[in-house]
Amino acid sequence: VENADSSFMGDFKCEFKYGTVTHEKIAMRTSDDTITCDEMLFEPYGTSLLGSGSTPYGFNVIWSPISSSLPVRKATSPPRYLDNVASLAIDVYSCENLAPNCGRCLTLDADKYDCGWCSAERKCARPHQCPNRHLSDNWLNATQLCPNPVIEDLR
């Protein structure tokens, strides 16, 4: 964040939008150039993630003018948006919906998705979603090989 003046800008909120649905979460200015949003849980099995497994959500930071004597929003002042010149969006994804098998899971872009194969659950998942991932061969990441591969298609 640049040029956000805390002397008159406050009551920050993060806005996540998909289609006609909008969610707001409280945000805090944690340093001169950083605003941190409260955690937002996106339902991974919602209709927006079915099919492709990944959905871009629009993202904005909202602020309200504050009184110089009280750091609260004036009731008559509508919220205002920080400029989003880069059109920042949040890519919400479900590992399980992105990849139906081990081979596809381990070839997902590791820079973009935090997914791996959970052998115990037999599904593609985020690390914290895999019980006993610390046990040998229960958690596979992109540097490992899937057991018992099956050729599905030749091109």
* Residues 84, 99 share a domain: no
Residue 18: DSSP 8-state: E
Does the pLDDT of residue 147 top 90, yes or no?
A: no
The answer to whether residue 111 sits within a structural domain is yes
**Per-residue model confidence (pLDDT) at position 109:** 94
Q: Which of 33-42, 52-61, 84-93, 120-129 has the highest mean pLDDT?
A: 120-129
Shared domain for 37 and 66, answered yes or no, is: yes
Token code pair at residue 81 = 């948006």
Same domain, 58 and 82: yes
Which tokens is 6 given?
Answer: 């805390």
Structure tokens given for 84? 């989003």
Whether the pLDDT of residue 101 is over 90: the answer is: yes
Phi and psi for 137 in degrees, rounded to 5?
65, 5
Q: What is the pLDDT of residue 70?
A: 54
Q: Which domain holds residue 64?
A: 9-93
Whether residue 89 sits in one domain with residue 29: yes
Structure tokens that stand for 90 in this block: 């949040």
Structural domain count, the chain: 2
Pair (20, 42) in one structural domain: yes
pLDDT category at 10 given cuts 50, 70, 90 is confident
Q: Are residues 104 and 120 in the same domain?
A: yes
What is the mean pLDDT of the segment spanning 55-67?
83
Verify that 79 and 102 share a domain, yes or no. Answer: no
| Same domain assignment for residues 64 and 75 | yes
User: Is the predicted pLDDT of residue 123 greater than 90, yes or no?
Assistant: yes
Residue at a domain's end among 71, 93, 115: 93
- The predicted pLDDT at position 62 comes to 87
Q: Are both 133 and 80 inside the same structural domain?
A: no
Q: For residue 46, is it within any domain?
A: yes
Nearest to 9 by CA among 64, 61, 68, 49: 64
Please give the C-alpha separations between residue 60 and each of 29, 36, 48, in angstroms, as whole numbers.
Answer: 14, 12, 19
* Phi, psi dihedrals of residue 25, rounded to the nearest 5°: -130, 145
* Predicted confidence band of residue 108 (pLDDT cuts 50, 70, 90): very high
Distance CA(126)–CA(112), nearest Å, equals 12
Helix, strand counts (H, E) of the chain = 2, 9
Does position 99 have pLDDT exceeding 80, yes or no? yes
| Domain end marker among 37, 59, 93 | 93
Q: What is the mean pLDDT of the chain?
A: 81
- pLDDT, residue 7, reads 61
pTM as predicted? 0.67
